[in-house]
Amino acid sequence: MTQAYPPEDGKGLSMRNLTHLIYGLFALGLLSAGFFGIATIAAVVLAYLKRSDAAGTVYARHFDWVIKTFWWGLLWVVLSALATFIFIGWITGLIALVWIVYRIIKGWLALASGQPPVAEY
């Protein structure tokens, strides 16, 4: 199923570019190993702020994707941090990090190809 991106009105930052910015900020926060962790938080805040503007478009799915990736990733990283006391947290933390990176790459590639991200279960 192919969905075309809606036409832009030419005012300000286009929704497509904004979505690229959100993915880029999220990735920057991950790649910097937390040094620019504020970039990841900024990406999620931006996704929350612009989600209503994107309602009914393909971009809304991308914003939801980023938000869900952040909250589920945070949950698993925190649980992994707690589990380091029983020495399994390092493994689960690494798995959580790989999952977060996978979701960001998958979503960003979907955006580049003009598709919404699709969760495969």
Q: What is the pLDDT of residues 31-47, one digit of tens each?
A: 887 667 789 999 999 99
Question: Each residue of 59-101: pLDDT tens digit?
Answer: 999 999 999 999 999 999 999 999 988 888 889 989 999 999 9
Domain count, the chain: 1
Domain-embedded: residue 85: yes
Print the domain residue range for 98.
Answer: 15-113
SS3 91: helix
Domain-embedded: residue 9: no
In contact, 21 and 46? CB cutoff 8 Å? yes
Domain-embedded: residue 7: no
Q: Average pLDDT of the chain?
A: 87
In contact, 111 and 20? CB cutoff 8 Å? yes
Domain-embedded: residue 5: no
